[in-house]
Amino acid sequence: MQARRAARELAFILFSQFDKKITNYTKENMDDIILKSVRILSSSASDDLKISLGSLLDMKNRIDDYEAEHEINLNRPIDAANISVPMPTTADVKSKIDEMIEIAEKAILALEIAEFTTLESQSDVQNYAVKIAQNYQKNHEEIDSLIKANSTGWDFDRLVKMDKDILRIALSELLFIKEAPMKVVVDEALELAKKYSTDDSASFINGIIAKIIVDKGIK
């Protein structure tokens, strides 16, 4: 995982923890939230991996039982080792594997973010996450006004908070930090939307960012 990508994920977690007006938060508050978030991520990753391991063991036991109870092996001598047998369908196995892959990917991502944040040599990850938050903090009125103005037909106050936070992160980078390429910022905003928000969020967020990029002449 690249450091900036980890920082955006961390910024998203940071934004999700804000429970009062953004201007009331100090850098120390943000650093404390990040530390707690990393601990939560690590704990959650550990739990997810345990779930994934449990599913793997369950699948192995089911396959072992199916193999042992197949007529081919039932007719073999008691002391003979079981031989492999054909599976009647792959659908159930594929579904379980897909579920475990998804769990494992989330756990790995969480651990990567935690590692990037805690390694002293990678402290720029935490600093960049805080930088995003501070830029939004300073310019929250302008950023939220832009989101409102470009959310045609939507009530800003009723927008999904995750969508607003993803937009806030992207616009903080595009309009005020201006360190990352536009395409990277947009692509990773859409990835956050696909990962954390609703099915329609990515297209909604992409539409708003695209309008603002054109209006502001961002390149």
Q: Which residue range forms the structural domain that includes residue 26?
A: 3-216
Q: Which residue has the higher pLDDT, 128 or 102?
A: 128
Q: Percent of the chain at pLDDT above 90?
A: 35
The separation between CA 130 and the C-alpha centre of its own chain, rounded to angstroms, equals 18
Burial classification of residue 174, based on how many CB atoms lie within 10 Å of its CB (0-12 exposed, 13-18 middle, 19 or more buried): buried
pTM listed for this prediction: 0.71
Q: Which residue has the higher pLDDT, 103 or 172?
A: 172
Q: Which residues of 41-51 are buried (b: 16+ CB within 10 A; e: fewer)?
A: bbeebeebbee
How many domains are contained in the chain?
1
CATH number at residue 63: 1.10.940.10
Instruction: Tell me the average pLDDT across 146-157.
Output: 88
User: What does the pLDDT look like over 66-100, one tens digit per residue?
Assistant: 888 888 888 888 888 888 888 766 666 777 777 77
Q: Percent of the chain at pLDDT above 70?
A: 90
Nearest to 186 by CA among 160, 159, 213, 161: 213
Confidence of residue 112 (pLDDT cuts 50, 70, 90): low
CB of 118 closer than 8 Å to CB of 38: yes
State yes or no: pLDDT of 122 exceeds 60: no
Nearest to 69 by CA among 82, 88, 55: 82
CB of 184 closer than 8 Å to CB of 170: no
Give the span between the Cα atoms of 146 and 175, in whole angstroms.
11
Give the span between the Cα atoms of 190 and 204, in whole angstroms.
10
* φ and ψ of 119, to 5 deg: -70, 130
State yes or no: pLDDT of 209 exceeds 90: yes
Q: What does DSSP assign to residue 177?
A: I
State yes or no: pLDDT of 115 exceeds 70: no
Q: What does DSSP assign to residue 217?
A: T
pLDDT mean across residues, the chain = 84
